[in-house]
Structure 1
Amino acid sequence: LDPYGNILHVLTMDEPHESIVIGASGQVEIDVLRECEHERQSALPFLRFTRLTEADAALRGFAQQHCKQRRDRGALIDLMHALHGHISYLTGSTAVETSAAEAFAGQQGVCQDHAHAFLACARSLGIPARYVSGYLLTDSDDHLASHAWAEAWLDGAWYSFDVTNCLAKPERHLKLAIGLDYLDACPVRGMRRGGGTEQMHALVEVSPQLKVQKQ
Protein backbone atom coordinates (compact mmCIF):
# COMPACT_ATOMS: atom_id res chain seq x y z
CA LEU A 1 0.00 0.00 0.00
CA ASP A 2 1.20 3.52 -0.75
CA PRO A 3 0.60 6.46 1.65
CA TYR A 4 -2.84 7.07 0.08
CA GLY A 5 -4.00 3.49 0.57
CA ASN A 6 -3.65 2.46 -3.07
CA ILE A 7 -2.64 -1.14 -3.80
CA LEU A 8 0.64 -1.23 -5.71
CA HIS A 9 2.18 -4.02 -7.78
CA VAL A 10 5.90 -3.55 -8.52
CA LEU A 11 7.68 -5.32 -11.38
CA THR A 12 11.45 -5.22 -11.93
CA MET A 13 12.94 -6.54 -15.17
CA ASP A 14 16.74 -6.84 -15.25
CA GLU A 15 16.94 -8.86 -18.49
CA PRO A 16 16.73 -7.53 -22.07
CA HIS A 17 13.11 -7.68 -23.27
CA GLU A 18 10.98 -6.50 -26.16
CA SER A 19 7.62 -6.10 -24.45
CA ILE A 20 5.75 -6.28 -21.16
CA VAL A 21 2.07 -7.22 -21.14
CA ILE A 22 0.02 -6.38 -18.05
CA GLY A 23 -3.48 -7.83 -17.84
CA ALA A 24 -6.14 -7.34 -15.19
CA SER A 25 -9.83 -8.09 -14.89
CA GLY A 26 -12.49 -7.87 -12.24
CA GLN A 27 -16.06 -7.16 -11.28
CA VAL A 28 -17.16 -3.98 -9.55
CA GLU A 29 -20.42 -3.43 -7.73
CA ILE A 30 -21.52 0.21 -7.64
CA ASP A 31 -24.04 1.62 -5.18
CA VAL A 32 -25.78 4.19 -7.36
CA LEU A 33 -27.49 5.72 -4.32
CA ARG A 34 -24.27 6.56 -2.46
CA GLU A 35 -23.22 10.15 -3.08
CA CYS A 36 -20.14 10.38 -0.83
CA GLU A 37 -17.41 8.33 0.80
CA HIS A 38 -16.52 8.57 4.49
CA GLU A 39 -12.95 8.00 5.71
CA ARG A 40 -11.15 8.24 9.03
CA GLN A 41 -7.89 9.57 7.60
CA SER A 42 -7.25 13.29 7.71
CA ALA A 43 -8.07 15.17 4.52
CA LEU A 44 -5.53 17.94 5.25
CA PRO A 45 -2.72 16.45 3.08
CA PHE A 46 -4.94 17.08 0.05
CA LEU A 47 -4.67 20.82 0.55
CA ARG A 48 -1.09 20.68 -0.75
CA PHE A 49 -0.38 21.94 -4.25
CA THR A 50 1.89 20.06 -6.65
CA ARG A 51 3.59 21.17 -9.85
CA LEU A 52 0.65 19.84 -11.85
CA THR A 53 -2.01 21.42 -9.60
CA GLU A 54 -0.44 24.76 -8.67
CA ALA A 55 -3.07 27.51 -8.77
CA ASP A 56 -1.81 30.64 -10.49
CA ALA A 57 -3.57 34.02 -10.33
CA ALA A 58 -5.94 33.09 -13.19
CA LEU A 59 -7.12 29.87 -11.52
CA ARG A 60 -7.48 31.55 -8.12
CA GLY A 61 -9.50 34.35 -9.65
CA PHE A 62 -11.69 31.89 -11.56
CA ALA A 63 -12.44 29.91 -8.39
CA GLN A 64 -13.25 33.05 -6.43
CA GLN A 65 -15.45 34.38 -9.24
CA HIS A 66 -17.66 31.29 -9.37
CA CYS A 67 -17.69 30.31 -5.68
CA LYS A 68 -17.34 33.70 -3.97
CA GLN A 69 -17.77 33.07 -0.23
CA ARG A 70 -19.55 29.75 -0.67
CA ARG A 71 -17.71 26.59 0.35
CA ASP A 72 -20.44 24.00 -0.11
CA ARG A 73 -21.28 21.30 -2.64
CA GLY A 74 -23.44 23.63 -4.69
CA ALA A 75 -20.52 26.02 -5.12
CA LEU A 76 -18.22 23.25 -6.33
CA ILE A 77 -20.87 21.98 -8.75
CA ASP A 78 -21.02 25.51 -10.19
CA LEU A 79 -17.23 25.48 -10.40
CA MET A 80 -17.32 22.10 -12.16
CA HIS A 81 -19.70 23.39 -14.82
CA ALA A 82 -17.67 26.58 -15.27
CA LEU A 83 -14.43 24.64 -15.81
CA HIS A 84 -16.21 22.34 -18.25
CA GLY A 85 -17.19 25.38 -20.28
CA HIS A 86 -13.74 27.00 -20.09
CA ILE A 87 -11.53 24.00 -20.93
CA SER A 88 -12.76 22.28 -24.10
CA TYR A 89 -12.20 18.53 -24.30
CA LEU A 90 -9.74 17.80 -27.11
CA THR A 91 -7.78 14.57 -27.32
CA GLY A 92 -4.06 15.11 -27.86
CA SER A 93 -4.12 18.81 -26.97
CA THR A 94 -2.05 18.27 -23.79
CA ALA A 95 0.46 15.77 -22.39
CA VAL A 96 0.86 14.04 -19.03
CA GLU A 97 3.26 16.76 -17.87
CA THR A 98 0.84 19.61 -18.70
CA SER A 99 -0.07 21.58 -15.57
CA ALA A 100 -3.48 22.87 -14.56
CA ALA A 101 -2.39 26.45 -15.22
CA GLU A 102 -1.17 25.58 -18.74
CA ALA A 103 -4.37 23.73 -19.67
CA PHE A 104 -6.49 26.53 -18.21
CA ALA A 105 -4.58 29.16 -20.18
CA GLY A 106 -4.83 27.12 -23.40
CA GLN A 107 -8.53 26.40 -22.79
CA GLN A 108 -8.09 22.85 -24.09
CA GLY A 109 -7.37 19.53 -22.45
CA VAL A 110 -8.58 16.07 -21.48
CA CYS A 111 -10.06 14.58 -18.31
CA GLN A 112 -6.70 14.72 -16.54
CA ASP A 113 -6.50 18.47 -17.14
CA HIS A 114 -10.10 18.97 -16.02
CA ALA A 115 -9.32 17.17 -12.76
CA HIS A 116 -6.09 19.10 -12.18
CA ALA A 117 -7.80 22.44 -12.77
CA PHE A 118 -10.58 21.53 -10.36
CA LEU A 119 -8.04 20.50 -7.71
CA ALA A 120 -6.13 23.75 -8.14
CA CYS A 121 -9.30 25.82 -7.74
CA ALA A 122 -10.67 23.86 -4.78
CA ARG A 123 -7.38 23.91 -2.88
CA SER A 124 -7.03 27.64 -3.51
CA LEU A 125 -10.38 28.01 -1.70
CA GLY A 126 -9.09 26.01 1.28
CA ILE A 127 -11.04 22.86 0.37
CA PRO A 128 -9.09 19.56 0.40
CA ALA A 129 -9.38 17.84 -2.97
CA ARG A 130 -7.81 14.74 -4.47
CA TYR A 131 -7.21 13.23 -7.90
CA VAL A 132 -9.02 10.01 -8.80
CA SER A 133 -8.10 7.68 -11.65
CA GLY A 134 -10.23 4.83 -12.90
CA TYR A 135 -12.72 3.93 -15.58
CA LEU A 136 -16.13 5.12 -16.70
CA LEU A 137 -19.06 3.08 -17.94
CA THR A 138 -20.01 4.96 -21.09
CA ASP A 139 -21.03 4.45 -24.70
CA SER A 140 -18.21 6.74 -25.85
CA ASP A 141 -14.69 5.51 -26.56
CA ASP A 142 -13.08 8.76 -25.32
CA HIS A 143 -12.57 7.66 -21.71
CA LEU A 144 -12.06 3.90 -22.02
CA ALA A 145 -8.26 3.89 -21.84
CA SER A 146 -8.42 5.73 -18.53
CA HIS A 147 -10.58 8.34 -16.88
CA ALA A 148 -9.94 10.95 -14.22
CA TRP A 149 -12.10 13.01 -11.93
CA ALA A 150 -11.80 14.80 -8.59
CA GLU A 151 -13.11 14.37 -5.06
CA ALA A 152 -13.50 17.22 -2.56
CA TRP A 153 -13.79 17.01 1.23
CA LEU A 154 -17.05 18.57 2.38
CA ASP A 155 -18.89 18.07 5.69
CA GLY A 156 -16.71 15.13 6.70
CA ALA A 157 -16.95 13.13 3.45
CA TRP A 158 -15.50 12.90 -0.06
CA TYR A 159 -17.79 14.04 -2.89
CA SER A 160 -17.10 13.36 -6.58
CA PHE A 161 -16.83 15.99 -9.31
CA ASP A 162 -16.34 14.76 -12.87
CA VAL A 163 -15.66 17.97 -14.81
CA THR A 164 -15.40 16.22 -18.19
CA ASN A 165 -18.93 14.81 -17.97
CA CYS A 166 -20.44 17.33 -15.51
CA LEU A 167 -21.35 14.53 -13.10
CA ALA A 168 -21.49 15.05 -9.33
CA LYS A 169 -22.48 11.45 -8.51
CA PRO A 170 -20.07 8.50 -9.03
CA GLU A 171 -22.82 6.21 -10.29
CA ARG A 172 -20.90 5.10 -13.41
CA HIS A 173 -17.34 5.47 -12.11
CA LEU A 174 -14.90 2.67 -11.26
CA LYS A 175 -12.31 4.05 -8.86
CA LEU A 176 -8.79 2.70 -9.24
CA ALA A 177 -6.50 4.98 -7.23
CA ILE A 178 -6.27 8.39 -5.56
CA GLY A 179 -3.51 10.93 -5.03
CA LEU A 180 -2.48 14.57 -5.10
CA ASP A 181 -2.34 14.49 -8.91
CA TYR A 182 -2.00 12.22 -11.94
CA LEU A 183 1.49 11.05 -11.02
CA ASP A 184 0.22 9.57 -7.73
CA ALA A 185 -2.72 7.73 -9.26
CA CYS A 186 -1.84 6.77 -12.85
CA PRO A 187 -2.61 3.10 -13.65
CA VAL A 188 0.90 2.28 -14.94
CA ARG A 189 4.11 4.13 -14.23
CA GLY A 190 7.72 3.15 -14.75
CA MET A 191 11.29 4.00 -15.64
CA ARG A 192 13.98 2.27 -17.66
CA ARG A 193 17.65 2.39 -18.52
CA GLY A 194 19.16 1.57 -21.88
CA GLY A 195 18.76 2.42 -25.53
CA GLY A 196 15.88 2.02 -27.92
CA THR A 197 12.44 3.53 -27.81
CA GLU A 198 9.25 2.74 -25.94
CA GLN A 199 5.50 2.95 -26.46
CA MET A 200 2.55 2.11 -24.24
CA HIS A 201 -0.80 0.90 -25.53
CA ALA A 202 -3.91 0.36 -23.43
CA LEU A 203 -6.97 -1.71 -24.27
CA VAL A 204 -9.92 -1.43 -21.88
CA GLU A 205 -13.38 -2.91 -21.93
CA VAL A 206 -16.03 -1.79 -19.43
CA SER A 207 -19.44 -3.43 -19.67
CA PRO A 208 -22.46 -3.85 -17.39
CA GLN A 209 -23.21 -7.27 -15.97
CA LEU A 210 -26.88 -8.13 -15.87
CA LYS A 211 -28.09 -9.78 -12.70
CA VAL A 212 -30.20 -12.88 -13.21
CA GLN A 213 -32.83 -13.36 -10.55
CA LYS A 214 -33.50 -16.93 -9.54
CA GLN A 215 -37.06 -18.09 -9.69
Structure 2
Amino acid sequence: MLLNIEHRTHVAYDAPVDYTIQQLHLTPQDGFGQRVKRWEIRVNGKMQAHADAYGNLSHMLVVDGPHRAIDITASGEVETGLDIPPAADTLPLQVYLRATPLTTVDAALTEFSRHFGQSVAGMDKRELYALMRAVRDRMIPLESGTEASGTAAEAFASGLGTSHDHAHVFIACCRALGVPARFVSGYLFSAARQMVANHAWADAWVEGEWMSFDIANGQRANGVHVRLATGLDARDASPVGLVRRDVGTSTSFRVHTAGMEQSQQ
Protein backbone atom coordinates (compact mmCIF):
# COMPACT_ATOMS: atom_id res chain seq x y z
CA MET A 1 0.00 0.00 0.00
CA LEU A 2 1.27 3.46 -0.90
CA LEU A 3 0.06 6.20 1.45
CA ASN A 4 0.32 9.87 0.55
CA ILE A 5 0.27 11.65 3.92
CA GLU A 6 -0.02 15.26 4.97
CA HIS A 7 0.16 16.08 8.69
CA ARG A 8 -0.51 19.68 9.68
CA THR A 9 0.00 21.09 13.18
CA HIS A 10 -0.97 24.61 14.24
CA VAL A 11 0.04 25.96 17.65
CA ALA A 12 -1.42 29.36 18.59
CA TYR A 13 -0.32 31.45 21.58
CA ASP A 14 -2.63 33.74 23.52
CA ALA A 15 0.07 36.42 23.54
CA PRO A 16 3.16 37.07 21.40
CA VAL A 17 6.29 35.12 22.38
CA ASP A 18 9.90 35.82 21.44
CA TYR A 19 11.38 32.33 21.39
CA THR A 20 10.16 28.75 20.97
CA ILE A 21 12.12 25.51 20.88
CA GLN A 22 10.36 22.26 20.12
CA GLN A 23 11.30 18.64 19.46
CA LEU A 24 9.75 17.02 16.37
CA HIS A 25 9.42 13.30 15.66
CA LEU A 26 7.70 13.65 12.31
CA THR A 27 10.01 11.70 9.99
CA PRO A 28 9.31 8.02 9.25
CA GLN A 29 12.23 5.75 8.42
CA ASP A 30 12.68 2.55 6.43
CA GLY A 31 12.11 -0.68 8.34
CA PHE A 32 9.34 -2.67 10.02
CA GLY A 33 7.71 -3.30 6.65
CA GLN A 34 7.72 0.29 5.39
CA ARG A 35 9.79 2.28 2.90
CA VAL A 36 9.80 6.07 2.69
CA LYS A 37 9.48 7.19 -0.93
CA ARG A 38 9.70 10.92 -0.18
CA TRP A 39 9.23 13.10 2.89
CA GLU A 40 9.60 16.74 3.89
CA ILE A 41 8.80 19.02 6.83
CA ARG A 42 7.88 22.69 6.36
CA VAL A 43 7.89 25.09 9.31
CA ASN A 44 7.94 28.81 10.01
CA GLY A 45 11.29 28.51 11.80
CA LYS A 46 14.68 26.79 11.65
CA MET A 47 15.23 23.05 12.05
CA GLN A 48 18.26 20.96 12.92
CA ALA A 49 18.10 17.22 12.23
CA HIS A 50 19.67 14.66 14.55
CA ALA A 51 19.33 11.01 15.56
CA ASP A 52 18.09 10.63 19.12
CA ALA A 53 19.01 7.94 21.65
CA TYR A 54 16.28 5.60 20.37
CA GLY A 55 17.39 5.79 16.75
CA ASN A 56 14.60 8.15 15.67
CA LEU A 57 15.27 10.83 13.07
CA SER A 58 14.32 13.93 15.04
CA HIS A 59 14.36 17.66 14.40
CA MET A 60 14.88 20.53 16.80
CA LEU A 61 12.63 23.42 15.78
CA VAL A 62 13.64 26.92 16.83
CA VAL A 63 11.53 30.03 16.22
CA ASP A 64 13.58 33.08 17.22
CA GLY A 65 11.71 36.37 17.11
CA PRO A 66 8.21 37.62 17.97
CA HIS A 67 5.47 35.20 16.90
CA ARG A 68 1.97 34.16 17.92
CA ALA A 69 1.77 30.81 16.14
CA ILE A 70 3.76 27.89 14.82
CA ASP A 71 2.73 26.00 11.68
CA ILE A 72 4.27 22.61 10.94
CA THR A 73 3.47 20.52 7.87
CA ALA A 74 4.97 17.07 7.34
CA SER A 75 4.14 15.35 4.07
CA GLY A 76 5.27 12.59 1.77
CA GLU A 77 4.72 9.06 0.54
CA VAL A 78 5.29 5.87 2.51
CA GLU A 79 4.94 2.36 1.12
CA THR A 80 3.79 -0.25 3.63
CA GLY A 81 3.26 -3.99 3.84
CA LEU A 82 6.77 -4.76 2.57
CA ASP A 83 9.25 -7.41 3.67
CA ILE A 84 11.70 -4.97 5.26
CA PRO A 85 13.20 -5.88 8.65
CA PRO A 86 13.64 -3.44 11.54
CA ALA A 87 16.79 -1.38 11.79
CA ALA A 88 19.42 -2.48 14.29
CA ASP A 89 18.73 -1.44 17.87
CA THR A 90 20.72 1.48 19.24
CA LEU A 91 20.16 0.62 22.91
CA PRO A 92 20.41 -2.57 25.00
CA LEU A 93 17.12 -4.33 25.68
CA GLN A 94 17.42 -3.68 29.41
CA VAL A 95 16.62 -0.02 28.73
CA TYR A 96 13.10 -1.02 27.68
CA LEU A 97 12.45 -2.63 31.06
CA ARG A 98 12.73 0.76 32.74
CA ALA A 99 9.52 2.16 34.23
CA THR A 100 8.64 5.80 33.58
CA PRO A 101 6.11 8.07 35.30
CA LEU A 102 3.61 7.23 32.54
CA THR A 103 4.21 3.45 32.66
CA THR A 104 4.63 2.68 36.37
CA VAL A 105 2.42 -0.14 37.64
CA ASP A 106 0.27 0.20 40.74
CA ALA A 107 -1.34 -2.57 42.78
CA ALA A 108 -4.21 -3.02 40.30
CA LEU A 109 -1.91 -3.31 37.27
CA THR A 110 0.42 -5.64 39.15
CA GLU A 111 -2.47 -7.94 40.00
CA PHE A 112 -3.78 -7.77 36.41
CA SER A 113 -0.34 -8.69 35.02
CA ARG A 114 0.00 -11.72 37.27
CA HIS A 115 -2.52 -13.63 35.17
CA PHE A 116 -0.07 -13.84 32.27
CA GLY A 117 3.21 -15.66 31.77
CA GLN A 118 2.29 -18.46 34.16
CA SER A 119 3.06 -21.27 31.72
CA VAL A 120 6.38 -23.11 31.57
CA ALA A 121 7.24 -21.16 28.41
CA GLY A 122 6.71 -17.85 30.21
CA MET A 123 5.85 -14.79 28.12
CA ASP A 124 5.78 -16.12 24.58
CA LYS A 125 3.89 -14.73 21.58
CA ARG A 126 0.69 -16.48 22.58
CA GLU A 127 0.79 -14.88 26.03
CA LEU A 128 1.43 -11.43 24.57
CA TYR A 129 -1.56 -11.81 22.27
CA ALA A 130 -3.64 -12.74 25.31
CA LEU A 131 -2.34 -9.71 27.22
CA MET A 132 -3.14 -7.43 24.28
CA ARG A 133 -6.71 -8.74 24.08
CA ALA A 134 -7.18 -8.47 27.84
CA VAL A 135 -6.07 -4.83 27.90
CA ARG A 136 -8.32 -4.08 24.93
CA ASP A 137 -11.29 -5.74 26.65
CA ARG A 138 -10.61 -3.94 29.92
CA MET A 139 -10.41 -0.43 28.43
CA ILE A 140 -13.03 1.08 26.14
CA PRO A 141 -11.31 2.94 23.27
CA LEU A 142 -11.93 6.68 23.13
CA GLU A 143 -12.72 7.84 19.62
CA SER A 144 -11.69 11.43 20.33
CA GLY A 145 -8.31 12.59 21.53
CA THR A 146 -4.88 11.51 20.37
CA GLU A 147 -2.81 12.09 23.50
CA ALA A 148 -2.50 10.05 26.68
CA SER A 149 -5.22 10.98 29.17
CA GLY A 150 -2.95 10.24 32.13
CA THR A 151 -0.65 7.55 33.46
CA ALA A 152 -1.09 3.86 32.68
CA ALA A 153 -2.46 3.28 36.18
CA GLU A 154 -4.96 6.13 35.86
CA ALA A 155 -6.17 5.01 32.43
CA PHE A 156 -6.50 1.40 33.59
CA ALA A 157 -8.52 2.48 36.63
CA SER A 158 -10.87 4.57 34.47
CA GLY A 159 -11.53 1.77 32.01
CA LEU A 160 -11.24 4.27 29.15
CA GLY A 161 -8.34 5.29 26.97
CA THR A 162 -6.90 6.60 23.74
CA SER A 163 -4.50 4.48 21.71
CA HIS A 164 -1.71 6.13 23.74
CA ASP A 165 -3.31 4.93 26.98
CA HIS A 166 -3.73 1.38 25.66
CA ALA A 167 -0.08 1.34 24.65
CA HIS A 168 1.07 2.65 28.04
CA VAL A 169 -0.93 0.01 29.93
CA PHE A 170 0.36 -2.81 27.71
CA ILE A 171 3.95 -1.56 28.05
CA ALA A 172 3.63 -1.26 31.84
CA CYS A 173 2.36 -4.84 32.07
CA CYS A 174 5.08 -6.16 29.77
CA ARG A 175 7.83 -4.56 31.83
CA ALA A 176 6.29 -5.83 35.06
CA LEU A 177 6.51 -9.32 33.54
CA GLY A 178 10.13 -8.87 32.47
CA VAL A 179 9.39 -8.28 28.78
CA PRO A 180 11.18 -5.31 27.15
CA ALA A 181 8.59 -3.01 25.56
CA ARG A 182 8.52 0.40 23.91
CA PHE A 183 6.03 3.01 22.75
CA VAL A 184 5.46 3.63 19.03
CA SER A 185 3.94 6.78 17.54
CA GLY A 186 2.71 6.96 13.98
CA TYR A 187 -0.30 6.91 11.70
CA LEU A 188 -3.12 4.45 11.11
CA PHE A 189 -4.94 4.20 7.78
CA SER A 190 -8.67 3.46 7.96
CA ALA A 191 -10.03 1.82 4.82
CA ALA A 192 -13.60 2.52 5.93
CA ARG A 193 -12.96 6.24 6.33
CA GLN A 194 -10.29 6.49 3.61
CA MET A 195 -8.16 8.60 5.93
CA VAL A 196 -5.05 8.52 8.09
CA ALA A 197 -5.08 9.47 11.76
CA ASN A 198 -2.51 9.87 14.51
CA HIS A 199 -2.14 6.59 16.38
CA ALA A 200 0.00 4.79 18.92
CA TRP A 201 0.90 1.17 19.57
CA ALA A 202 3.67 -0.84 21.24
CA ASP A 203 6.62 -3.09 20.43
CA ALA A 204 7.45 -6.02 22.70
CA TRP A 205 10.60 -8.15 22.57
CA VAL A 206 9.61 -11.79 22.42
CA GLU A 207 11.26 -14.94 21.10
CA GLY A 208 14.27 -13.00 19.85
CA GLU A 209 12.52 -10.24 17.91
CA TRP A 210 10.40 -7.11 18.21
CA MET A 211 6.69 -7.65 17.61
CA SER A 212 4.28 -4.75 17.17
CA PHE A 213 0.88 -4.75 18.89
CA ASP A 214 -1.93 -2.29 18.14
CA ILE A 215 -3.68 -2.71 21.46
CA ALA A 216 -6.50 -0.22 20.81
CA ASN A 217 -7.59 -2.27 17.78
CA GLY A 218 -6.67 -5.68 19.18
CA GLN A 219 -4.36 -6.67 16.32
CA ARG A 220 -0.78 -6.86 15.19
CA ALA A 221 0.52 -3.68 13.58
CA ASN A 222 0.55 -4.30 9.82
CA GLY A 223 0.41 -2.59 6.43
CA VAL A 224 -2.08 0.06 7.56
CA HIS A 225 0.37 1.45 10.12
CA VAL A 226 3.15 3.98 9.47
CA ARG A 227 5.81 4.27 12.18
CA LEU A 228 7.24 7.65 13.14
CA ALA A 229 9.19 7.17 16.37
CA THR A 230 9.76 4.93 19.39
CA GLY A 231 10.65 5.56 23.02
CA LEU A 232 10.00 4.47 26.59
CA ASP A 233 6.63 6.25 26.53
CA ALA A 234 4.68 8.93 24.64
CA ARG A 235 6.88 11.73 25.92
CA ASP A 236 9.89 10.23 24.13
CA ALA A 237 8.10 9.65 20.83
CA SER A 238 5.49 12.39 20.51
CA PRO A 239 5.32 13.69 16.91
CA VAL A 240 5.32 17.27 18.22
CA GLY A 241 6.89 17.82 21.64
CA LEU A 242 5.28 19.71 24.46
CA VAL A 243 4.64 23.36 23.73
CA ARG A 244 5.78 26.03 26.16
CA ARG A 245 3.68 26.41 29.31
CA ASP A 246 4.44 30.01 30.31
CA VAL A 247 1.69 31.36 28.04
CA GLY A 248 -1.74 30.09 27.07
CA THR A 249 -1.80 27.91 23.95
CA SER A 250 -4.22 26.12 21.69
CA THR A 251 -3.10 23.33 19.41
CA SER A 252 -4.85 21.78 16.43
CA PHE A 253 -3.81 18.72 14.42
CA ARG A 254 -4.98 17.48 11.07
CA VAL A 255 -3.77 14.38 9.27
CA HIS A 256 -5.14 13.20 5.97
CA THR A 257 -4.23 11.26 2.86
CA ALA A 258 -4.00 13.17 -0.36
CA GLY A 259 -4.24 9.82 -2.09
CA MET A 260 -3.91 6.08 -1.52
CA GLU A 261 -3.23 3.27 -3.91
CA GLN A 262 -2.23 -0.36 -3.81
CA SER A 263 1.49 -0.74 -4.39
CA GLN A 264 2.86 -3.30 -6.80
CA GLN A 265 5.25 -5.75 -5.17
TM-score tier, shorter chain, comes to 0.7 to 0.9
Compared CA separation, residues 99 and 194, structure 1 to 2 (3 A): closer
Counterpart pick for 2:126 among 74, 77, 80: 74
Structure with bigger helix share is 1
Aligned mates of 1:191, 1:201 — CA distance in 2 = 12
Query: Equivalent residue of 1:199, what SS?
Result: strand
TM-score (norm 2): 0.72
Partners of 1:87 and 1:107 within 8 A in 2: yes
Aligned mates of 1:111, 1:88 — CA distance in 2 = 10
Partners of 2:201 and 2:215 within 8 A in 1: yes
Aligned mates of 2:243, 2:254 — CA distance in 1 = 21
Aligned to 1:106: 158
Counterpart pick for 1:116 among 147, 168, 178: 168
Aligned mates of 2:260, 2:67 — CA distance in 1 = 36
Counterpart pick for 2:240 among 184, 188, 192: 188
Aligned mates of 2:234, 2:221 — CA distance in 1 = 21
2:183 partner amino acid? Y
Aligned to 2:178: 126
Counterpart pick for 2:189 among 108, 120, 137: 137
How do residues 29-40 of structure 1 correspond to structure 2 at under 5 angstroms?
29-31=79-81, 37=86, 39-40=88-89
Aligned mates of 1:38, 1:29 — CA distance in 2 = 16
Q: What residue ranges of structure 1 are gaps of 5+ in the alignment?
A: none
More moved, 3-12 vs 86-95: 86-95
Partners of 2:205 and 2:211 within 8 A in 1: yes
Counterpart pick for 2:219 among 154, 167, 185: 167
Query: Equivalent residue of 1:113, what SS?
Result: helix
What's the CA shift for 1:93?
Answer: 8.1
What's the CA shift for 1:210?
Answer: 3.5
Residue 233 (structure 2) pairs with residue 200 (structure 1): no
Partners of 1:60 and 1:121 within 8 A in 2: yes
2:107 partner amino acid? A
What's the CA shift for 1:132?
Answer: 0.1
What's the CA shift for 1:154?
Answer: 1.2
Q: Percent identity?
A: 40
Structure with bigger strand share is 2
More moved, 201-210 vs 2-11: 201-210
What's the CA shift for 1:31?
Answer: 2.9
CA RMSD of aligned residues (A): 2.5
Residue 66 (structure 2) pairs with residue 27 (structure 1): no
Partners of 2:182 and 2:233 within 8 A in 1: yes
What's the CA shift for 1:121?
Answer: 0.3
Aligned mates of 2:111, 2:140 — CA distance in 1 = 19
Aligned mates of 2:150, 2:73 — CA distance in 1 = 28
Partners of 1:130 and 1:181 within 8 A in 2: yes
What's the CA shift for 1:26?
Answer: 1.5
Instruction: Kindly provide the CA deviation profile for residues 2-30 of structure 1, in whole angstroms up to 9, marking residues without a partner as x.
Output: 10011111112232212211111111122
Higher relative contact order (Cα pairs below 8 Å, separated by 6+ residues): 2
Number of residue pairs the alignment of both structures matches = 210
Compared CA separation, residues 16 and 54, structure 1 to 2 (3 A): same
Compared CA separation, residues 79 and 45, structure 1 to 2 (3 A): same
How do residues 40-51 of structure 1 correspond to structure 2 at under 5 angstroms?
40-41=89-90, 42-51=92-101
Aligned to 2:6: none
Aligned mates of 2:211, 2:264 — CA distance in 1 = 31
Compared CA separation, residues 205 and 191, structure 1 to 2 (3 A): closer
